[in-house]
Amino acid sequence: MTSPDAVRAAVDRLATAQRERVPCPPVRDLIGTDDLPAAYAVQQGLVQARVAGGARVVGRKIGATSKAVQDQLGVDQPDFGYLLDDMDVSGRDRVSMRTLVQPRVEAEVAFRLAADVDLPEDEITLEAVRERVEVALPALEVVDSRIAAWDIGFTDTVADNASSGLFVVGTEGRPLDGPDGLEPREVDMALAVGGEVRSSGNGAACLGDPLEALRWLAVQCARFGDPLRAGHLVLSGALGPFVPFAAGDRVEASISGFAPLVATFEE
Does residue 7 sit within a domain? no
Does residue 16 sit within a domain? no
Enclosing domain of residue 141: 57-266
How many independent structural domains does the chain possess?
Answer: 1
CA distance 213 to 210: 5
Amino acid at 17: A
pLDDT tens-digit series, residues 85-133: 999 999 998 999 999 999 999 999 999 999 999 999 999 999 999 999 9
pLDDT of amino acid 226:
93
pLDDT tens-digit series, residues 166-202: 999 999 999 999 888 999 999 999 999 999 999 999 9
Does residue 182 sit within a domain? yes
Does residue 88 sit within a domain? yes
pLDDT of amino acid 70:
84
Does residue 19 sit within a domain? no
pLDDT tens-digit series, residues 195-252: 999 999 999 999 999 999 999 999 999 999 999 999 999 999 999 999 999 999 999 9
Does residue 192 sit within a domain? yes
pLDDT of amino acid 69:
86
Does residue 234 sit within a domain? yes
Does residue 152 sit within a domain? yes
CATH number at residue 97: 3.90.850.10
Asked whether residue 43 carries a pLDDT value surpassing 90, the answer given is: yes
Residue 86 DSSP one-character state: G
Q: What separation in angstroms does the CA of 218 have from each of 124, 126, 129, 169, 256?
A: 7, 10, 8, 21, 26
